Amino acid sequence: MPSGRAATRVRGMNRHAPTLEDVAREAGVSRATVSRVVNGVRNVDPAIQDLVRVAIERTGYAPNRAARSLVTRRTGTVALVVSGAGDGTGDTSEEEQNAFAARVFADPFFGRVVGGVVGFLRPRSTHPVLMFAESPQARQEVLRYLRQGNADGALVVSTHPDDPLPALLAEAGLPAVLFARPVRPVALSHVDLAHWDGGRLAAECLLARGCRKVATVSGPWAVAASQERLAGFRDTMARGGHPYVAVAEGGFTLDSGVAAMTELLAEHPDVEGVFAANDLMAQGVCQVLRERGRRVPDDVAVVGFDDSSVAATCRPPLTSVRQPVEDMAAAMARLLDEHVRGLRTEPASVLFEPELVVRESA
């Protein structure tokens, strides 16, 4: 006869996995009600949903994903795609792929996107699968992954203005939502920011400080958001009586901000205010000014864009135009969820408003 400890182990091995019936008994509801809650059916009283969720936790019930997907036609995953290349015909090397991924992970913007997406999906028992589409081959892998039903749809963040992936997804009839309005019209939903208004807020800040000789470090000119931020800034400066704004193009990176500000100071040493089209470039601007003995904001006021983690750690802390990236990413995930569940059949857009967050740099 086995000892007490051994007997306990044998009983634990023979104990069946918790079932819907176990959860129903624990919650004091019917099996059908538990099934509706587990499968995300909406017409269940919230109080009963809470009872069922507590019962699931107590019993340790884990839904059978395969059986659940047969009922819901959902996989419980979505593809979060960072798409970078244009219409190139050749495949990228492993070194180029690694460099692309390194640039993505170095930018706090993408971490904020992931945070917003996960914040929406996780309570719905759905999880993102990160995919890169920086080459023709990688884009085809994304399309194949979605066509084979491995994910319910795609959340796409494009880093290239001529990215062909959105059009490929639309042509294939695959559920997808874009972060930012595409340069070319495509029948997909998207979320975006009122970038022109963000540029306006930056200009109004510098004008209010009395800056008259101003410059801007723009994002890449081919990117629509860069053009809109620049237009909003220049238009507002012109309305304030200052039609000339010196411009240097950056690439949304720290190094490009350093290079652009070095160029601007060489041509305009008397500059009084600078607007950089993202916080990483603004950090580079502040670095150059500090190295040249120019005090921020006493000699030169600096305004960034995004209000990312960089803004708080910059020296001095950055005044920045806030882009609510987490909220935008969550809205992107919500739109995809509505498309997948058939609640939305036509493309939709959600436009967010920027706001100025004032710190020490301006």
Q: What pLDDT is stored for residue 36 in this prediction? A: 80
Q: What pLDDT is stored for residue 78 in this prediction? A: 95
Of the candidates 112, 90, 92, which has an alpha carbon nearest to the alpha carbon of residue 101? 92
Cβ distance 166 to 156 under 8 Å? yes
Q: Could you report the average pLDDT of every consecutive run of 10 residues in the chain (362 residues)?
A: 38 58 89 80 80 86 56 76 64 66 77 94 90 90 92 91 90 94 91 98 97 95 93 97 95 95 96 97 97 96 95 94 96 95 91 97 95
Catalogue the E-assigned strands of 196-254: 214-218, 246-249
Helix residue ranges, H only, 64-181: 65-72, 94-106, 108-121, 136-147, 165-172
Q: Report pTM.
A: 0.76
Cα angle for residues 85, 128, 305 (degrees, 5° grid): 60
Q: What pLDDT is stored for residue 64 in this prediction? A: 58
Q: What pLDDT is stored for residue 202 in this prediction? A: 98
CA distance 356 to 59: 49
Q: What pLDDT is stored for residue 65 in this prediction? A: 52
What the chain holds in terms of domains, given with CATH numbers, is 20-63 (1.10.260.40), 77-193+326-350 (3.40.50.2300), 195-322 (3.40.50.2300)
Q: What pLDDT is stored for residue 13 in this prediction? A: 36
